[in-house]
């Protein structure tokens, strides 16, 4: 699903800094992978490169069978809109739009008809347990509810890949647990998930942990855990 080969990325400035240094990794379809490391080691940069939000200095990146280097900006936008769902630490909800409108927005950009948009947006809110909060504004929702709206927005396009950047970073322990359980369920339904976190405890909810230090991939650890479906049985 995701293949990264010899990726490098530097940021210019008075003191140029290499953020990623010859990083290679592969993520299979249906995996739940956590990228772990301290702040500033390149985790979010790698996530942005996988999403096509930034371009590498060198190396190759394939997502869902597509070589990103062959795509122009418009084609990258289409790829993100149709195949990739995003979940951010700060939620990134439109403050003057209801939960429903926030979730519906990717479908508006995709040109989906009004009736179908409404059905899919309400279904996505129902999937995260917020069907009854569809008409609430973000400031009328708790932090955990806002993050669940953000997850519904990511899921409404039925993405192949979900990229989550510190999705529990602004949440208390109970809401963090709810969000992680929801991501596990999304993964159990077939989505590939790559999650950035600095927390070992959060990372252990994934099936595999990749550790980054100073722009280098230094560890690749499999985590044995029962699936959400097995627990439910």
> Residue 30: which CATH number?
3.40.50.300
Q: What is the mean pLDDT of the chain?
A: 91
**CA distance linking residue 88 with residue 85, whole number of Å:** 10
Closest alpha carbon to 51 in 59, 61, 42: 61
Give the pLDDT band (50/70/90) at residue 74. Answer: very high
Taking residue 157's Cβ as centre, other Cβ atoms within 10 Å add up to 20
Helix, strand and coil percent figures for the chain, each rounded to 5 = 40, 25, 35
Mean pLDDT of 145-167: 93
Q: Look at residue 115 and give its three-state secondary structure.
A: helix
Per-residue pLDDT reduced to its tens digit, 118-140: 999 999 999 999 999 999 999 99
**CA distance linking residue 89 with residue 198, whole number of Å:** 12
pLDDT at 228 over 50: no
Give the pLDDT band (50/70/90) at residue 225. Answer: low
Identify the pLDDT of residue 36: 95
The pTM score is 0.89
Sign of CA dihedral 201, 202, 203, 204: positive
| Domain housing 103 | 2-232
Place of tokens 């990749």: 210
Mean pLDDT of 50-68: 93
Report the domain count for the chain. Answer: 1
Rg (CA), the chain: 18
Structure tokens at 201: 């405890």
**CA distance linking residue 24 with residue 216, whole number of Å:** 9
| % of the chain with per-residue pLDDT over 70 | 96
Which parts of the chain fold into alpha helices (H)? 43-50, 73-83, 99-109, 114-127, 143-155, 173-188, 200-203, 228-232
Identify the pLDDT of residue 229: 46
């Amino acid at each position: 699903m995701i293949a990264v080969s010899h990726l490098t990325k530097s940021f210019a400035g008075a003191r140029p800094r290499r953020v990623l240094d010859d990083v290679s990794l592969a993520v299979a379809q249906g995996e739940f992978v956590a990228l772990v490391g301290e702040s500033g080691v390149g985790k979010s940069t790698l996530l942005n490169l996988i999403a096509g939000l930034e371009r590498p200095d060198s190396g190759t990146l394939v997502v869902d069978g597509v070589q990103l280097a062959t795509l122009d900006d418009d084609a990258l936008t289409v790829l993100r809109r149709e195949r990739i769902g995003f979940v951010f630490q700060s939620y990134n909800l439109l403050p003057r739009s209801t939960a429903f409108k926030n979730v519906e927005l990717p479908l508006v950009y995709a040109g989906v008809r009004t009736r179908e948009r409404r059905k899919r947006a309400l279904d996505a809110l129902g999937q995260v347990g917020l069907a009854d909060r569809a008409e609430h504004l973000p400031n009328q929702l708790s932090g955990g509810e806002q993050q669940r709206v953000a997850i519904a927005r990511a899921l409404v396009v039925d993405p192949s890949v979900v990229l989550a950047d510190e999705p529990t970073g602004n949440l208390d322990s109970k809401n963090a647990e709810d969000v992680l359980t929801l991501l596990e369920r999304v993964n159990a339904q077939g989505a590939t998930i790559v999650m950035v976190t600095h927390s070992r405890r959060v990372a252990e909810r994934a099936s595999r942990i990749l550790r980054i230090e100073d722009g280098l991939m230094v560890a690749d650890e499999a985590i044995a855990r029962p699936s959400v479906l097995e627990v439910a049985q």
